[in-house]
Structure 1
Amino acid sequence: MWKSGFKWMFLIIGTTIGAGYASGRELWQFFGNESGLAILLFAILFSLSCYVILQISHEYKSSHYLPVLRIIIGPKLSYIYDGMIMIYLFSTTVIMLAGSGATLEAFHFPFWLGIVVIVIPLILTFVWDINGVLSLNSLILPLLIVGLLSTLLIFSFQENLSFIPDLSKQRNWVAAFPFTALNILPLIAVLGAVGNQTKGKGELWIASIGSGVILGSISYIYNSSLIQISDQVLLYEIPLFAILRHYPYVMFLFVSVMLWLAIFTTAVSGTMGIVTRVRNMFTAPLWVLSAVILLIMVPLTKIGFSTLIEYLYPLYGILNLYVLSAIILYPIINRYKMEQK
């Protein structure tokens, strides 16, 4: 039970900790000052959402996200959100591929080499089907979590940061809802694909609570660190580099590798969501489907996606609030239906 619970927990964390989160940009955009309560609410809402999605996928033994989506928001709306999820996963994965190219470009390597470096391991991951993704996450995520936490804690201790929030100043608590909502669609896409592999409810609780506690803790420590250097954050495209501005070059190299791993885990989750959704339409192994999809994506990495993301992400944040509400209310509505029978 514990082993399976940690397996799903790492899958959840790997889906959530993308380049935006790991770099600090996403956290700073939503949180900042007076956000201690917001981050606590996020951890609670996130754990609840994960459990509801996992419970539905487990109950219906789903192998892709559409059955889960239909249960949560109904058959009519599920067609709209199905299209939204595919666009979201596709665009996010393209951006991750471009991010890999840009990362290696920063070290004076060709952009195309950065694309090759991420595409080949992505395809190889799916040679072992879903188990390849789960094994990879179990290997990479502990390293990513320990690396990020170590960097933040070293900075916090050096700066003598206090982690005790001022409870009288928590005006940004509402940020918990759009931040949680933004992460809902990829969670449905990924967790909906593993329902036929879950064994019992114990592992679902471990995965849900564990991921909420870990992400909530990292988010709080990260946000507290960024508040300490708030005057410097705006000067950096990647806020994490503002934390490391007085550190030796080897730390920048270490963090760059860590950010690439975050990019890779997000690309894996995005590709997994797409290939598990279309696998019933084509009689081909997952690695072949992933290879075809990734080859379609590669030419698009040269297109500027900043405008797309500028409008797409806020739109998803708003539309996902409905899905988040449906997930939170699902246990209540489902129990009421059971009592009526």
Structure 2
Amino acid sequence: MKNLLLVLQISAVFIGTIVGAGLASGQEISQFFTSYGYKSFIGILICCFIYIMMSCIVINLSLKYNLTSYDGLISLVSPGLLGQVTNLLTTIFLISTSAVILAGSGSLLHQYFSISKWVGIIIMIVISILVLFRGTKGLIEINSFIVPSLIIVIVTIFILYVSFYKDINASYLKNISAYKHSWLLSSLIYGGFNILCCSGVLVPLSTEIKNKKVLICGITLGSIGLTVLSFLINALLILNVPYIFKYEIPLLYIANRFGNVIQFMLLCIIWLEMFSTEVSNIYSVSRNLQELFNISYKKAIILIIIISIPISQIGFSKLISILYPAFAVISFIFALQCLYFYFENKGRSLH
């Protein structure tokens, strides 16, 4: 029973780390999948396979080499200059994303509740510190609440939509035109991108829990859950092409027709997912700084937040537009290096 609870908690952490506000709002799914028409569903399935396979490799390597942060994993599979670049870019990306989330949290609360942006930023910082100071336990606790809430809201919106629009079927979805065509490449890049992001959480989680079977079951369940969620969001978005491309929060456009309560629930989920990503990112970088510079985990948390606050005040959509593609490419190369390293060393008594 204890192991079953741990499996569910690990799956929640995995989903919470990957989902983020981009996926919960529908923005990421519309960019990486919906634009490719009905083939996007095959792309989502490919991502599920990538998540399970790559996460199992990361767990195996973490346990075999007793790794404690993504720095150890990157140094192991990619020694030399490329590894150093990957590590640096991962750290910059995670800190920048944390800063973007702080700014986004302030903007979201300002936009919908007309309160100062700083109120939203301070709320996010205070709650993040409280959770992060609890270490891995804090990460598990918040995701055990946020992920079931996310599932309930997305499933509710989907059921409402299907109830109101009864003429939906597979052939109808198949006839919706694609706006882009390199769906396979998009899926591979998205899968690799998420694996490097979540390895910052997966590595310390593996060495703390140390039960390979429980970890792999949790990741597999999480990957399947994430795939089902992505399927539902993608179906909702495809049925609302091309209108969804005009909105920053495509799912909010869909939720609008079901009244203020559903809209408010979705906004709460988006904020909670922003918070979940914030905590995961700071946790990953803190564990990394702890290993690299031998500073305490709590000091690392405060340091990252101090760095993130001024960055969050810069209008840096340009930085993100450069950073995201660069990180996606590096992530994809890193995933290939992980595969190569794992199978090259598989015979040497892997756990």
Name the TM-score, length of structure 2 as normaliser: 0.89
Q: Work out the CA distance in 1 between the residues paired with 2:70 and 2:326.
A: 21
Q: Work out the CA distance in 2 between the residues paired with 1:2 and 1:328.
A: 29
The Cα shift of 1:111 comes to 0.5
Q: Work out the CA distance in 2 between the residues paired with 1:330 and 1:225.
A: 39
- Counterpart code for 2:83: S
Equivalent residue, structure 1, for 2:91: 86
Backbone CA RMSD of aligned residues: 2.3
The answer to whether the 8 A contact 1:59-1:195 is kept is no
Q: Work out the CA distance in 2 between the residues paired with 1:225 and 1:20.
A: 15
The Cα shift of 1:31 comes to 0.9
Equivalent residue, structure 2, for 1:151: 157
Matched, 1:52 2:57: yes
Q: Identify which of 79, 82, 85 aligns with 1:77.
A: 82
Matched, 1:300 2:311: yes
Q: Identify which of 162, 165, 168 aligns with 2:169.
A: 162
Classify 1:145/1:287 alpha carbon distance in 2 versus 1 (closer, same or farther; 3 Å).
Answer: farther
The answer to whether the 8 A contact 1:48-1:208 is kept is no
Equivalent residue, structure 2, for 1:31: 33
Matched, 1:141 2:143: no
The answer to whether the 8 A contact 1:229-1:242 is kept is no
- Counterpart code for 2:65: Y
The answer to whether the 8 A contact 1:2-1:206 is kept is no
Equivalent residue, structure 2, for 1:319: 330
Equivalent residue, structure 1, for 2:21: 19
The answer to whether the 8 A contact 1:85-1:189 is kept is no
The Cα shift of 1:237 comes to 1.4
Classify 1:331/1:277 alpha carbon distance in 2 versus 1 (closer, same or farther; 3 Å).
Answer: closer
- Counterpart code for 1:299: P
- Counterpart code for 1:301: S
Equivalent residue, structure 2, for 1:198: 209
Classify 1:323/1:156 alpha carbon distance in 2 versus 1 (closer, same or farther; 3 Å).
Answer: farther
Q: Work out the CA distance in 2 between the residues paired with 1:163 and 1:197.
A: 44
Equivalent residue, structure 1, for 2:302: 291
Q: Work out the CA distance in 2 between the residues paired with 1:151 and 1:86.
A: 36
The Cα shift of 1:35 comes to 1.3
The Cα shift of 1:223 comes to 0.8
The Cα shift of 1:154 comes to 2.4
The alignment-based identity, stated in percent, is 24
The answer to whether the 8 A contact 2:146-2:273 is kept is no
> After the TM superposition, which of the residue ranges 254-263 and 7-16 deviates more from structure 2?
7-16
- Counterpart code for 2:104: G
The Cα shift of 1:327 comes to 3.1
Q: What are the ranges of 5 or more consecutive residues in structure 1 without an aligned counterpart?
A: none
The answer to whether the 8 A contact 1:69-1:188 is kept is no
Q: Identify which of 290, 293, 300 aligns with 1:279.
A: 290
Q: Residue by residue, what CA displacement relative to the aligned partner does 1:186-238 show, whole Å, maximum 9, x if unpaired?
A: 11212122232123221122122112111111111111110101121122111
Q: What are the ranges of 5 or more consecutive residues in structure 2 without an aligned counterpart?
A: none
Q: Residue by residue, what CA displacement relative to the aligned partner does 1:139-179 show, whole Å, maximum 9, x if unpaired?
A: 22222222223223322343233358759x99633322011
- Counterpart code for 1:155: Y
Equivalent residue, structure 1, for 2:128: 122
Equivalent residue, structure 2, for 1:101: 106
Name the TM-score, length of structure 1 as normaliser: 0.91
Partner SS, residue 242 of structure 2: helix
The answer to whether the 8 A contact 1:125-1:287 is kept is no
Classify 1:196/1:337 alpha carbon distance in 2 versus 1 (closer, same or farther; 3 Å).
Answer: closer
> After the TM superposition, which of the residue ranges 40-49 and 293-302 deviates more from structure 2?
293-302
Partner SS, residue 256 of structure 2: coil
The Cα shift of 1:75 comes to 4.8
Equivalent residue, structure 2, for 1:211: 222
Q: Work out the CA distance in 1 between the residues paired with 2:165 and 2:281.
A: 37
> After the TM superposition, which of the residue ranges 109-118 and 271-280 deviates more from structure 2?
271-280
Q: Work out the CA distance in 2 between the residues paired with 1:96 and 1:30.
A: 20
Partner SS, residue 68 of structure 2: coil
Q: Work out the CA distance in 1 between the residues paired with 2:339 and 2:187.
A: 14
- Counterpart code for 1:25: Q
Q: Identify which of 161, 178, 203 aligns with 2:189.
A: 178
Q: Residue by residue, what CA displacement relative to the aligned partner does 1:234-255 show, whole Å, maximum 9, x if unpaired?
A: 2211111121231212222111
Classify 1:38/1:62 alpha carbon distance in 2 versus 1 (closer, same or farther; 3 Å).
Answer: same
Matched residues, number: 337
The answer to whether the 8 A contact 1:233-1:242 is kept is yes
Partner SS, residue 247 of structure 2: coil
